[in-house]
Amino acid sequence: MDRFDSMSILLSVVEAGSLSAAGRKLRMPLTTVSRKISDLEAHLKTRLLNRTSRQLTLTDAGLAYVAACKRILEDLGEAERAAMGEYSAPKGNLVVTAPVVFGRLHVLPVISEFLKSFPEIDIRLVLADRLVNILDDHIDLAIRIGRLPDSSLVAIRIGEIRRVICASPSYWAARGLPASPDELRTHDCIAFQGLTAPEAWRFGNGNAEMLVPLHSRLVVNTAEAAIDAAIGGVGVTRVLSYQIADAVRAGRLATALEAFEPAPWPISLVHAGQGLLPLKLRAFLDFAAPRLKERVTQAAL
């Protein structure tokens, strides 16, 4: 059994989501794909995939083995390119994930620049406000906003952002600018689920922290909707500072209660970082980190 070949087929199956889809991608008969996976499981004396008529999932052993296969095959590819004198030309596919608004405003422009400079690297950008698992979802690099839990992952800090209170200037003129968070009880609020709860908002940091009950006239599930509603004069919302930087500069939104904001959240580039980094990932980190750091600095309120 060619283990490298079997590892590659296993990764293709996981990425494609089924044996038949992997077979089509590899231009390989379904029976051959199935036999290769079965032979690999027999060699390892463990099941890697749970197969049903509707879906294919990895077992616990399969999750760990697929992550190891990916690292091994990437290292092998790097070694082969170095031996063939291609070490100075990064190539391959990268999967990057980022929060939706931050990804659209800042990550996508940097990726567009990167692709022009590195024609042999292709990128799949996954924009999601949920926490995408780097290992389970085969992510090469994640942009994370917020405090990171202790883990074996490597994080590169590129800046920080604030959680800010804002409304349109016309709303503040009509209802009055609050002097303390407690005054928000009398205001119309717009809650963005995922960042703020519709029943109460938390202010301050550490011992001075306070939870303020409020009335959410509108509850939305995207930051863009909350911002648009605030610009339209519906009420007060809480979002991340970079999300409204342009609107504040244009005079469409104005912030309040800056002295009561929680501690800023860090923005980090996170990757698995185990062993030698693939050249394609090192090239992207070297290119993107300083540019994203500059964009975050420029977007600060």
Where are the chain's structural domains?
A: 3-83, 92-161+265-299, 163-260
pLDDT of residue 6: 87
Q: What is the pTM of this model?
A: 0.66
pLDDT of residue 298: 84
Q: Do 203 and 178 contact (CB within 8 A), yes or no? A: no
Which residue from 22, 41, 43 is spatially nearest to 33, judged by alpha carbons? 22
**What's the DSSP call for residue 40?**
H
User: Interior CA angle at 74 toward 70 and 77, to 5°?
Assistant: 145
**DSSP assignment of 159-211:** EEE-EEEEE-HHHHHHH---SSGGGGGGSEEEEETTTS-SSEEEESSGGG-EE
pLDDT along the chain (301 residues), means of 10: 84 86 87 89 89 79 88 78 62 90 93 94 90 82 87 88 95 95 94 80 78 91 92 95 92 95 91 76 94 89 70
Distance CA 195, CA 3 (A): 46
* Domain 3-83 of CATH type 1.10.150.120: no
Contacting residues for 88 by C-beta, under 8 A, at least 6 apart:
none
Tell me, rounded to whole angstroms, the distance of Cα 267 from its chain centroid.
11
- Beta-bridge mates of residue 50: 57
Residue 132 CB neighbours (<10 A): 16
Q: β-strand 121-127 against 92-98: which pairing, if any? A: parallel
Residue 139 CB neighbours (<10 A): 19
81 vs 142, 215, 217, CA distance in Å? 25, 60, 59
Which residue from 65, 89, 47 is spatially nearest to 7, judged by alpha carbons? 65
Number of H helices, E strands in the chain: 10, 14
Half-sphere exposure (Cβ direction) of 201: Cα atoms closer than 13 Å:
30
pLDDT of residue 53: 64
Residue 20 CB neighbours (<10 A): 14
Residue 168 burial (CB < 10 Å; 0-12/13-18/19+)? buried
The CATH number given to 163-260 is: 3.40.190.10
Tell me the three state secondary structure of residue 80.
Answer: helix
**92-161+265-299: what fold?**
D-Maltodextrin-Binding Protein; domain 2 (3.40.190)
- Rg of the chain, C-alpha, whole Å: 24
Do 92-161+265-299 and 163-260 come out as alike in CATH topology? Answer: yes
